[in-house]
Amino acid sequence: MHAVEPQVTVEIAQQLGLTPDEFQRIQQIMGRVPNFTELSIFSVMWSEHCSYKNSILWLKTLPRDGERLLVGAGEENAGLVDIGNGLACAFKIESHNHPSAIEPYQGAATGVGGIHRDIFTMGARPIAALNSLRFGNIELNHTRQLVKGVVHGIGDYGNCFGVPTVGGEVYFYDCYNQNILVNAMSAGIVEVGKTVSAIAEGKGNPVFIVGSSTGKDGIHGATFASADLTEDSAEDLPSVQVGDPFQEKLLLEASLEAIQTGAVVGMQDMGAAGITCSTSEMSAKGGVGMRIDLSLVPTRQSNMRPFEILLSESQERMLIVGKKGQEQLLLDVFEKWDLQCAQIGEVIDGGRLEFYYEGEKVADVPAESLVLGGGAPVYKRDYTKPAYLDEIEKFSLSKVPAPLNYQATARQLLTSPNLVSKRWVYEQYDSMVRTNSMSTNAPSDAAIVRVKNTNTALALTTDCNSAYVYADPYIGAMIAVAEAARNIVCSGGLPVAITNCLNFGNPYNPEVYWQFVHAIKGMGEACRKFDTPVTGGNVSFYNQTVIKDKTEPVYPTPTIGMLGVLDDASLAMTLSFKSAGDQIYMIGTPSNDLGSSEYLRHVHGIIYSPVPHFDLNEEYQVQQIIAALISKQYIDSAHDVSEGGLFLTLLESAMAGGLGFDIETDANFRKDAYLFGEGQSRIVVSVKPENEDELVNHLNANNVSFTRLGEVIAHQIIIDEENFGTIASWQEHYHNFLGSLMSH
């Protein structure tokens, strides 16, 4: 074995993130003590990031079947959904949290690059990107620097790669001060039957590494992503990869062209754990092994040791299994695109991964023992109800004073960075490239992306209010799914499937694991109700910061990336009021509810309060009604009530149309709850006067709760006959406030 390796001990195993029991289990699998390279292979493949060892038992309870699904959850690099016209959409969301917290620009950029590779390795061309971002207190200079780095990283990579960023969300809470969350989503289009699987098959078939050279960046990155962030984490900078979007663009075109040659058996992105991950997962899936010569891997640093070559997470690389005898077809394609394509080994029978370096065998490991569903460990963790929930149960609405001046309170509410426009962020992204986005200039609750040469459009959204999930993980996760579906329905789409990014603290903390288990239960129940199966995604544990021996987990953040389909893109619905004189209605039931609202948090400083009112059956009924109203073309706009309550919903619809509104509140409810409460399952619509009777008759016939709020007017905001000023004054503040905070 290779002479430079340290002697393997249980202490070395623990340094690599393995437990003593896991070290013992590895020795049983191997029938001997592994060498350092072999131990390194196990350490990354058995890390939480790759093996899901603390989450897979619960993930398997999520619904995975749907009539439009073409592959099951976890079967491929991304979910695949039939969208009609002989086409399918591949889509997925993943996290890049720890790298982005340490090196925000490259961490975010490589997160975008990695998720796009998951899409085009399946043979799909990425057409849209979204993201979900969480930062700490924006008043902190540290936070502003992280925001700038992440936004520039996402923008630069996406803009150079040529895929538009069409949607996303940004939140600011103190719990993310050190451990930010960067979740990136990609969606692509492929002809049904033209996809490529991440599989190795056929004894003697050649194995190629294509794309960039392999360097020392990202070694043990999967292990790094499976550990707590501490004050010393910046010393782990080699764990952060470096991205090259121009190289990725070449890799995209070359990969899609290589697939068309018919010479590709299987292909997989080289993400977490690099060559180790790709060789083991592709081999295990095909029930075969590989013989790999690491000396043949193109490297960009000299004297790289075998374990460094195996574990490097250098970006813009793929592993391809080709067809024996057709090697030249693949070599010619990659040469045309000026990319390296090096044959580094071949498929073998027997299911073992044999790695050689300079003629010497440096590792020999059974592939099946490394992977999820194979030999990777699976744990059932204990969990206990978090103590902070006792504080939430003490909340009393009667102790919250009503505002003395509602206009002043509304303006104060709009000094929350969570409620104002994220224009400062999204103007740094290119949303227009490839000219498919339909919602750039006509905003909808979800992003609408046209599928070229068809009448079809995709509706895409990312959603999760982590404050709701913190207050009640079960209902909060349900709301995340429901709001995603609501956004798609309000845009004219049919919700079809989800991908998720489950961001939580340390799974060994019983209170964190309680949050995780209950969030999974709530998510599963909501997905079954909306018939939106889970196609895949990822779990990101250890999102917390250790400062002076005190561990602070982030809010539980199960981000939902949802795909919807508009079979007729002409029926896309926007959120803007269209004409003065149009009538404004609220579909759904108001309530005396201020739970977990931004109003309570930002105006009253109340952190502990219950989750907002939510009833899953009521939500489903409201969404069904909105879908019918859009298909019957009874309404002219639809916008859901979410953060900021009814007031912000009305304000956003008015600003988008350059109009105002005149409404009355209901004296049966607290006025602050009516205007600023975030009770769910409510949607504001506008209707032409000549369609009003049809609208009301349809709602009455279907026994749906609704309220006539008032009407669209020009320029002014009037609530209960009080003039709140011109829409222009609100618009200027709404669009510019975040930029002014970022310029401090």
pLDDT tens per residue across span 563-607: 999 999 999 999 999 999 999 999 999 999 999 999 999 999 999
Which element (helix H / strand E) includes 499? strand 494-503
Residues identified as active-site = 49, 96
- Distance separating alpha carbons of residues 80 and 160, to the nearest angstrom: 26
pLDDT value, residue 694: 97
List, as one string, the DSSP characters of 140-162.
SHHHHHHHHHHHHHHHHHHHHHT
The answer to whether the beta carbons of residues 661 and 713 sit under 8 Å apart is: yes
DSSP category for residue 299: B
Q: Which residues contact 126 (CB under 8 A, 6 or more apart)?
A: 116, 119, 120, 163, 186, 187, 188, 252
Among candidate residues 76, 108, 109, 106, the one with its CA nearest the CA of residue 91: 76
Q: Pairing state of beta strands 683-687 and 534-540? A: unpaired
pLDDT value, residue 301: 87
Tokens of 254: 């070359």
- Distance separating alpha carbons of residues 584 and 178, to the nearest angstrom: 43
Q: Pairing state of beta strands 264-269 and 206-211? A: unpaired
- Distance separating alpha carbons of residues 699 and 705, to the nearest angstrom: 8
DSSP 3-state of 610:
coil
Residue 296 sits at φ, ψ, to 5 deg, of: -90, -5
Residue 557 sits at φ, ψ, to 5 deg, of: -130, 80
pLDDT value, residue 374: 85
For the purposes of burial, counting CB atoms within 10 Å of the CB of 660, is it exposed (0-12), middle (13-18) or buried (19 or more)? buried
pTM for this one? 0.95
pLDDT value, residue 268: 94
pLDDT value, residue 237: 42
3-state secondary structure 481-545: HHHHHHHHHHCCCEEEEEEEEEECCCCCCHHHHHHHHHHHHHHHHHHHHHCCCEEEEEEECCCEE
The Cα angle at residue 718 between residues 716 and 720, in degrees rounded to 5: 175
Flag residues of the chain having pLDDT under 50.
1-3, 221-222, 224, 226, 233-238
pLDDT value, residue 590: 96
The answer to whether the beta carbons of residues 499 and 536 sit under 8 Å apart is: yes
Residue 396 sits at φ, ψ, to 5 deg, of: -130, 115
The answer to whether the beta carbons of residues 678 and 611 sit under 8 Å apart is: no
